[in-house]
Structure 1
Amino acid sequence: MLITFMRCAEPLDALIALDAALRGGLVTKEQLRARLPGRRNGKLHTLLDRANPKARSLLETIARYELEEAGAIPEVGVELPIGELDLLLGKLDIETDGHEFHSQWADWEHDRRRDQWLIAHGYTPLRLTSRQVLTHQTVELVRPVAQRLGCWPDQAA
């Protein structure tokens, strides 16, 4: 069923489904590759290469996809002593904060302590709301900060 969806859906929608299936342990990349023989499945192999089981939410997948489309390749699910980062581009921590997991006082306070730790250790946290990600503002919000930090890919080294 997932392969049929990959064939029919827009790439971003297929990637969201792939990330979720991989993260949930419902399938592996190897199992999917085995069912996609031949050159006619090249586009699906490319899509499968982009899938990442470390993505913990559809917001992370959307933000990552849009950054990759713009030429920026963030790391996913980077573990630091303060916890796991959603997306990391150089020293820019990009967090995709849905209201569901960031609406309680304790969550809000934890996020602030995390941000303080990140700043103290040379990282710059950038929190994107679910609305910003779902309305495809990721690149326009991330690019100027990443450029200022020197971690946007089109900058001369």
Structure 2
Amino acid sequence: MEIEAYLHGRGGAARTVHLRRSGYSRAMLDKALGSGRIVRVRRGIYGLPEAASELGLALRHNAVLTCLSAAPTYSLWTLHAPSVVHVSPGHRRALPGTVSHGRLLHPGHPWLPVAGLADVLIHALHCLPLLESLAMVQSAAQRGDVTVEFLRRKLPGNRNARARAVLDFVIPRADSILEVLANYHFRTAGLQVRRHVELQGVGEVDFLIEGTLVVETDGQTHLEPKQVRKDRARNNATVVGGHLFLRFGYADVVHHPERMLDQVRAVLEQSRRGAFSAR
């Protein structure tokens, strides 16, 4: 494995001892360092160039990364890269050009200047727009790294009502961030939604809406030729099996959810009027 891939899988940085145990010799580290593929964050810690600046800032100011800035460390789903660094300074003095979060209530990362997962998610629930914090919590919860019940207990009282409301939209399983977002939009629109429904001759579909309309959400892998052929066959089988069908991509779900909902409502309304009864 290339050292960049190894570091990416560990949140962007790793201790020398862990790198050596994983088979990266001193000569390999020096070569990667000399070529600029990696950087020395501090003595005994190497990282990817894009991660080192934020980690270095936290180390210099005796702070820890949290919220959106800590998401890569824990491989959490995100909608956008942070435009500013989110930190918990551990002192009252705010760091210029950063978003400061409150004190830490749980053990931090074992060796990086990063808050523990529980604090990262709690800070995100208080700080970020609903869908951005939902994406982070969903990815952690479905992996079993944290439970919704645990987070709910950590957010008591009226002042945490908005943060708790996000937890209502965490689902048991989502195969992609698009499913999380689409499910939120369908539910808040008042639609009757079933997820991961098995249809005869088709297999499992992402959503079955109002018992008649199948909706699939397509990530990047659905653009691969092999997957395109598979999806085309599933599309045909869905219609032959007596269901209506719509398919939406990343731009539809993330950037134009209202347009997606308008199309879903339009098909459902035509179905109610009998427009497809000739089938």
- Deviation string for 1:17-43 (max 9, x for gaps)? 222222222211122122222343222
Which residue of the partner structure matches residue 14 of structure 2? none
Distance 1:66 1:95, change over 3 A: same
> 77-86 or 27-36, which moves further after superposition?
77-86
Question: Residues 96-115 of structure 1: matches in 2 within 5 Å?
Answer: 96-98=217-219, 100-115=220-235
> Among residues 83, 86, 95, which one is paired with 2:216 in the alignment?
95
User: Structure with the greater relative contact order (CA < 8 A, sep ≥ 6): 1 or 2?
Assistant: 1
Q: What is the TM-score when the length of structure 1 is the normalising length?
A: 0.82
Question: Residues 2-151 of structure 1: matches in 2 within 5 Å?
Answer: 2-81=121-200, 82-90=202-210, 91-98=212-219, 100-136=220-256, 137-150=259-272
Instruction: Give SS of 2:168's match.
Output: helix
Q: How many residues align?
A: 149
Distance 1:43 1:73, change over 3 A: farther
Instruction: Give SS of 1:127's match.
Output: strand
- Deviation string for 1:85-109 (max 9, x for gaps)? 22221211111112x2112222112
Q: Which amino acid aligns with 2:228?
A: W
Query: 2 CA distance for matches of 1:149 and 1:24?
Result: 38
Query: 2 CA distance for matches of 1:41 and 1:12?
Result: 17
Which residue of the partner structure matches residue 154 of structure 1? none
Q: What is the TM-score when the length of structure 2 is the normalising length?
A: 0.49
Instruction: Give SS of 2:171's match.
Output: coil
Instruction: Give SS of 1:52's match.
Output: coil
Q: Which amino acid aligns with 1:97?
A: D
Larger radius of gyration: 2
Query: 2 CA distance for matches of 1:83 and 1:22?
Result: 26
The runs of at least 4 aligned residues of structure 1 exceeding 4 Å deviation read none
* Contact map agreement 1:18 1:51 (CA 8 A) in 2: yes
Give the deviation of 1:45 after TM superposition: 2.4
Q: Which runs of 5+ in 2 are unaligned?
A: 1-119, 273-279
Instruction: Percent identity, please.
Output: 35
Give the deviation of 1:6 after TM superposition: 0.7
Query: 2 CA distance for matches of 1:23 and 1:147?
Result: 34
Q: Which runs of 5+ in 1 are unaligned?
A: 151-157
Higher-helix-fraction structure:
1
